[in-house]
Amino acid sequence: MRYERLGRLEIPKVGFGTWSIGGGSSPNRRKDSWSLASLRSALELGYTHFDTAESYAAGHCEELLGRAVRESGTDRARLFITSKVKPENLTPDRVTKACERSLRRLRTEYLDLYLIHWPNPGLSLGGAFEALNRLVRSGKVKHLGVSNFDLQLLQQSVGLSETGILTDQVPYSVMERSYAANGVVGYCQANGILVTAYSPLEQGGLRASQPLAGIAQARSLTAQQAAIAWLCSQPRVITIPMSGDPLHQRENLAAADVMLLANELELLG
């Protein structure tokens, strides 16, 4: 597994996204067996970065992730767990309470990374960061970040965070380049901020272009692996694909070690 290194911190190029674990926007407990099996498989295969949010299955996703970690016997210190606060909770008091609820559901004493999930133009970004900075000072959160922030909001966040912004988590893939076009990807790469690419496989809807299919065939990869390798070959970019299939989970992990050549990257644009 290749890593992105920021100071003493090492984050795997490929982590595990948990959207759909435990349900969608609301809990679906009929999916618990599938969800737990997916998480257990990921832990057994060696995934260490798990990305969740308070809005995933209305918190049930966090509960299941915490349960899977406990039952696996995995040392918490080996894991890098990310969660996110909802935009409606971006007041100082609500941020603190939201984080505490996430910690209880995950049954962990701290989050490695806590993100603002979406911007909320109706609430003060400065007020949210007052609470987020306090969470870092208290040790309940190790690092801060944002998600779905454009360049202007990202730059504002950099100025408001006492400990810097670790990442902007955005939709980014061979098919989705809007955050490259709006300057976020380039700004992050130039300023030591990670781009965390979500939906790297378009939630199963990836269409293999001729160049992507050609690279996959030449490298003995699936098109999905080639798409993940495209992301992992870029500096300061990590990604969090999700799959409940152990084979696909293994393939996604393996793709992190595929370094595309300059001419292959050029073919993909």
Q: What is the CATH number of domain 11-205+236-241?
A: 3.20.20.100
pTM of the complete model = 0.97
Does position 205 have pLDDT exceeding 70, yes or no?
no
Kindly indicate the confidence band of residue 247, based on its pLDDT and cuts at 50, 70 and 90. very high
Segment 20-33, tens digit of pLDDT: 999 999 999 999 99
Residue 206 has a pLDDT of 74
User: What percent of the chain is modeled with pLDDT above 90?
Assistant: 94
DSSP 160-223: H-TT---EEEEE-SSS--HHHHTTHHHHHHHTT-EEEEE-TTGGGT----HHHHHHHHHHT--H
Segment 55-89, tens digit of pLDDT: 999 999 999 999 999 999 999 999 999 999 999 99
Interatomic CA distance for residues 101 and 127, integer angstroms = 19
Does position 136 have pLDDT exceeding 70, yes or no?
yes
Q: What is the mean pLDDT of residues 41-53?
A: 98
Residue 204 has a pLDDT of 67
Q: What is the mean pLDDT of residues 161-190?
A: 97
The residues that are catalytic are 56
Residue 210 has a pLDDT of 83
- Residue 79 CA: distances (Å) to CA of 10, 20, 43: 11, 21, 10
Interatomic CA distance for residues 261 and 20, integer angstroms = 34
